Chain A
């Protein structure tokens, strides 16, 4: 949109530009005037892919098995199990919106965006609508986002085996920790539903052209979705105690607008 770059330049001239920009980032929405033309809103911001990959929806697993994968998106999206690539429901939604994926059913009929949205909105496949908004927001900016607790890659096929000890992941312990996570996404999600309090939904890595699923490294933060009320001190302390080490960020989704927040435990110094 033409409005956005101009605003960025204007902001740059004012003092305290960085903080002003931070404050204004979610500031006045730039409205395209819908009364000026008879045309429907167009998706001018999204770059659509010319060639789409194909994946088949597997109802039992709640995910799609990728049949042919075009381009390099698969390097940072989806889970590799026994040599096959699987996309979960938020990944399918994100890719399908961009025309990068065609989802097929058992009879090779295309599952359209409406049905994909329904799967997400239903919340039965491990990702809520709000979580999908947060996922998209980060993916569009290039971040590498995976479901928390789900290994990026599993050597053996089948959903209930654990990877063998990672000789190839010579690097660090953390690689084996990731790979030894529980295998069944949906079971995990259902378990989480019964966990009281706040729990991470995603792990987030910085954009990285050298990202490897076999050794993803430590995420820059874990993202927890917050619900209808701000978290209490108890809730924050509980989740912090569970996940010492990796920074936690929290997000609040309001009709597609995402606020990413940190609630840091601090101790103000005593001054001289």
Chain B
């Protein structure tokens, strides 16, 4: 796997030091404790997945730094508003336990009810969320990859500091999940995903979510889902070869000629050099 490509500040230095000074785990921990203290409530749309969350200015800074949600511009007021995606709202609610979610009617939802709501809004929510939380729990920043034709894009830190490393495609597998219209089952789909990720200089990361259980009715099933990581990369035969020697097609007579000529020339100079060295040594010896 190639390393991170850090973006550069105006002074020309890259942001790796800044990222090292503010590890994502501590940003998220601070966000979590701040939200827990104020117990904010997110309102989820009745038939959809998106939720809107109002937070204090300080919490807004932390949400931004941890790259959760999208800031909603508005005229002002005490609260700052963020729009959260399905995986994000469930992560804040279920994994970090720092946000409560309610419907527009005002009825607060338990984690189980929220799970049901999100699963009914999107059939693939279980595997998508498993993939999302798998990466977030390793402190990768995960954003939607839809504009690139993938499920997610994963960053090593905030997208303003570093270019993304992985275009993530989630593939369900197994008894309950395998029946879905999964990705990457035909060549056109796989090569399309590869091309899409390649054109934005990301590696294609395939997260296969397998399940040994048969029911996904509650968030408890998450513990029974397993994530398998695999990258798909394209190897360009021409480029690999060009790294080693002169790029040339097989033109047998030319290739042989070139090699012979090269060898002869090297041998010629080798002889001259050797002769010079030896004769110098000889003269030296004779004189002394």
CB<8 Å pairs between A and B, sample of 15? A21-B236, A25-B236, A50-B253, A71-B252, A71-B256, A98-B252, A138-B237, A209-B259, A230-B185, A260-B237, A263-B231, A264-B231, A266-B230, A268-B135, A271-B23
Given contacts A23-B199, A47-B251, A141-B237, contact A229 B24 (CB under 8 A): no
List B contacts of A153 (CB < 8 A): none
Is B230 a contact partner of A271 (Cβ separation < 8 A)?
Answer: no
Is A71 a contact partner of B237 (Cβ separation < 8 A)?
Answer: no
List A contacts of B272 (CB < 8 A): none
**Partner-binding segment picked from B37-45, B109-117, B238-246:** B238-246
Given contacts A207-B241, A229-B186, contact A22 B198 (CB under 8 A): yes
| Interface status of A157 (Cβ within 8 A of chain B) | no
Q: Mark A205-232, 1 if CB is under 8 A from B, else 0.
A: 0110100000000000000000011100
Chain B positions near chain A (C-beta within 8 angstroms): 1, 20, 23-25, 135, 138-140, 154, 156-157, 166, 173, 184-187, 190-191, 194-195, 198-199, 201, 205, 208, 210, 228-239, 241, 244-245, 248-256, 259
Interface of chain B: mostly helix, strand, loop or mixed: mixed
Is B184 a contact partner of A230 (Cβ separation < 8 A)?
Answer: yes
List B contacts of A264 (CB < 8 A): 230-231, 233
Is B173 a contact partner of A233 (Cβ separation < 8 A)?
Answer: yes
| Interface status of A142 (Cβ within 8 A of chain B) | yes
Of B138, B173, B249, the residue contacting A45 (CB under 8 A) is B249
Closest to B23 in A: A272
| Interface status of A254 (Cβ within 8 A of chain B) | yes
* A71 vs B198: C-alpha distance when bound (angstroms): 41
List A contacts of B251 (CB < 8 A): 47
List B contacts of A20 (CB < 8 A): 199
Given contacts A233-B173, A259-B191, A260-B234, contact A268 B229 (CB under 8 A): yes
Chain A positions near chain B (C-beta within 8 angstroms): 16, 18-23, 25, 45, 47, 49-50, 71-73, 98, 100, 137-143, 206-207, 209, 228-230, 233, 236, 249, 252, 254, 258-272
* A268 vs B206: C-alpha distance when bound (angstroms): 12
List B contacts of A228 (CB < 8 A): 187
* A139 vs B252: C-alpha distance when bound (angstroms): 11
* A74 vs B198: C-alpha distance when bound (angstroms): 38
Q: A236-B230, A266-B231, A268-B154 are in contact. List 10 more A-B contacts (CB 8 A).
A: A19-B198, A209-B259, A229-B185, A261-B194, A261-B233, A263-B230, A264-B233, A268-B135, A271-B156, A272-B24
Is B235 a contact partner of A249 (Cβ separation < 8 A)?
Answer: yes
* A266 vs B230: C-alpha distance when bound (angstroms): 5
* A268 vs B250: C-alpha distance when bound (angstroms): 40
Of A22, A141, A265, the residue contacting B229 (CB under 8 A) is A265
Closest to B20 in A: A272
* A42 vs B233: C-alpha distance when bound (angstroms): 34
Q: How far is the CB of A87 from chain B (nearest CB, A)?
A: 15
Given contacts A141-B241, A209-B259, A230-B190, contact A23 B195 (CB under 8 A): yes
* A263 vs B203: C-alpha distance when bound (angstroms): 11
